[in-house]
Amino acid sequence: MIPPPKNVKQDANASSTTELPQDQDLGRITNSVGIPVVNEINPLTVGPRGPILLQDAYLIDKLSHFDRERIPERVVHAKGGGAHGYFEVTHDVSHLTCADFLNTVGKRTPMFARFSTVAREMGSADTVRNPRGFALKFYTQEGNFDMVGNNTPVFFERNPSAFKDLIAVQKRDPRTHMPSPNMFWDYFTLRPVSFHQLLIQFSNRGTPDGFRHMHGYSSHTYKLINQEGCVHYVKWHFRTNQGVKNLSAKHAEKLAGTEPDYAIQDLFNAIERKEYPSWTLYFQVLTEDEALNYKYDVLDVTKVISQKDFPLQEVGRFVLDRNPENYFAEVEQAAFAPSHLVPGIAPSADRMLQGRLFSYADTHLHRLGPNHAQLPINSPINGVNTTIRDGPLVMGTNGGRNPPYYPNSYGGPHPDPSVREYESEYKLDGIVGRYEYELCERDFEQPRALFKLLAPNEQQDLVENLADDVSKTHAYIQRRVVDVLEQIDATFAKRVQEALSKS
């Protein structure tokens, strides 16, 4: 965790871009190992017009570091913004979970949030039509808990083997290096289960008005475990207290050209104005029997659980009240992983979640290295006491002289049997095999209900947004889109077909 800066001299007239006061003295400049620099501009040369000497260590230090400034960007969630804040419990949920940060009404836990687009690259615009990442890191007394969600309650696919493919078709064509509607719709029409997410993405909810005006969701079903070992299945909902606001397609497209960093700027400026955004956390709670017998598979991330069947239960709220001091150190190096779970919270058998438990933690090893958890933004407030050692860029004492193995005869560290194992004890029974989710009528019920739930003007926006994008594809792909929409709603499909014929 990165604490608030101390003794930072602020300019009373500082703008939202945090201009530093001109009368402060930050001291003499040094090289990367603290040696004072005599001259920052002029290299060491043989005479005024001669060659530069290799012994100019500061020039070499400066250029070699510059050559290595960039780290690999995230394959998913590359472009984003973030802020620090706190989470506060407002309702008692100790009967559901033994998680320490949720056990007392009024308890506050420091946290960091990162919002992002999902499939586009670092240089893309904030207002592109795309899901938004909604990643939260809670610095609890039992270690870091990461909730790595999105701004949509469902996802494109329910099998993790498809994750790479659904992202690939939202990247760039391997030949033209441009976004390809043909690639996009070719894939998704062959995977019709994705259309629940696609209807959300091509509605106005696909272009939220910045990060402050969108909800967040776990999307996956998680398990909560109380101190007695009782398990409940839970979906997490983070509802914005600023009200939901979306952009029209035309407005989003305009902002992409005039203000490509619109969402990052909006979040930053609001916090600088002390208009601190907040979200209220709700749970949807099912017993094990209710989850097993529900009309939809609660482990299928392409489906929602009806709030009429299982109403939202308020838990608490989080507030973002502090901007990062350094974007790279705090936002770019923040490492979120669904596998970061504290006692009392556990993964379900949701297939996509199971895949993400590996994939997200693995990508940080690639981007940031095996000791990325030691970076200040990722380090827990309760400290680390482990036998894990060494690797690139160790920070601190690397465990000092303490034994790097367990068991040992020198005082540990040792396991604590009193901690409730987050996985809990549960029975698994089945024949190992590759079991297919078979597409059926039930996969079209929720997209159909979503379309009917939209107001007439929202339906029209959805029709036009779909037709605008699909019109850029081959005729046979257009026919496949309409065929899938026919299975959702015949009138809906007809309206899209009519819009396509006019384009």
Single-letter code of the amino acid located at 33: V
Distance CA 277, CA 328 (A): 22
Distance CA 386, CA 376 (A): 17
Single-letter code of the amino acid located at 102: L
Phi first, then psi: give them for residue 254, nearest 5 degrees.
-65, -45
Two tokens, residue 390: 């060494």
Two tokens, residue 147: 């909730």
CA angle 190, 463, 461 (to 5 degrees): 135
Contact of 101 with 87, CB cutoff 8 Å: yes
- Residue 335 to residues 5, 51, 489: CA-CA distances in angstroms? 21, 44, 41
What residue has token string 């960007």?
Answer: 73
From the candidates 84, 130, 144, 150, which is the catalytic residue? Answer: 150
Dihedral (Cα; 344, 349, 355, 360), 10-degree rounding: -10
Distance CA 181, CA 193 (A): 18
Dihedral (Cα; 419, 421, 422, 425), 10-degree rounding: -150
DSSP state of 42: -
Is 251 catalytic? The answer is no
Contacts of 13 (CB under 8 A, 6+ apart): none
Is 77 catalytic? The answer is yes
Residues with active-site annotation: 77, 150
